[in-house]
Amino acid sequence: MAQAVFTGSFGVAAIWFGVVVFRTSSMVRSALALLFSQAAIGGMFLAMETEFLGVLQIMMMATEMAIMAIFMVMYMMDPGGLSEMDMTHQKRASLAAGVLGAFGALAVALLAGWGPVEVQVPAATAQVHDLGIEIMERSMLIFETTGVTILTAMIAATAIAIQRRH
């Protein structure tokens, strides 16, 4: 029961900060709200006894959102949100799509037969060990492909961003 309470509490925090991302007019606050939302998701992972992924999520998102905040200050016309600019469009259709998507996913979660639930989970050290074995054995090709994809994305992002010579 304690696990459900902690998972739910972190979940409510993730949802609340997720809403704040699109409610505040300050872009810096938006980036920080997204950081807290993703950190709360990391907290959910910890509550669900997935320690390695939880810590990884919190560390990765802290770095990612810090970089995002810098880019927001660089590129936004009004990063502080002082002039209360409206930067939205097709609000009603977007809201309908969001509500429909959420209710669709909720319906699947409630109506699908998930089968028996596992109570026991491997210890944190065993999880890290077994995940390492998974990466180095069965999922080696996926892991290598991910590495090449990261390299490709880095080159592509740099190629797009550099100033062109005319």
Partner 1 sequence: MVTLFVALAVGAVLFGIGLYGALSQTNLVMIMMGVELMLGAAMVNLVAFWRFLHPEVYAGQMFVLIVMTVMALEMAVGFGIATGRFRAKGSVEMEEARELKG
We find the least distance from the C-beta atom of residue 38 to partner 1, in angstroms, to be 6
Q: Which one of 62, 105, 123, 136 is in contact with partner 1 (CB under 8 A)?
A: 105
Q: What is the rounded CA–CA span in Å between residue 108 and residue 101?
A: 11
Query: Is residue 76 close enough to count as binding partner 1 by CB under 8 A?
Result: yes
CA distance to 25, 36, 38, 93, 121, per residue, from 21 (Å) = 9, 10, 11, 19, 34
Residues from 28 through 67 that contact partner 1 (CB under 8 A): 30-31, 34, 37-38, 41, 44-45, 48-50, 52-53, 56-57, 60, 64, 67
Residues from 13 through 32 that contact partner 1 (CB under 8 A): 14-15, 18-19, 21-22, 27, 30-31
Q: Which one of 82, 93, 111, 141 is in contact with partner 1 (CB under 8 A)?
A: 93
Query: Is residue 117 close enough to count as binding partner 1 by CB under 8 A?
Result: yes
Q: Which one of 62, 123, 136, 138 is in contact with partner 1 (CB under 8 A)?
A: 138
Q: Considering beta carbons, is residue 80 or 104 the nearer one to partner 1? A: 104
Query: Which contacts of 81-84 are long-range, i.e. CB under 8 A and separated by 24 or more positions?
Result: 81/24, 81/25, 81/26, 81/27, 81/29, 84/25
Helix axis angle for 124-136 and 140-161, nearest 10°, is: 80
> Contact 26/81 with Cβ under 8 angstroms?
yes
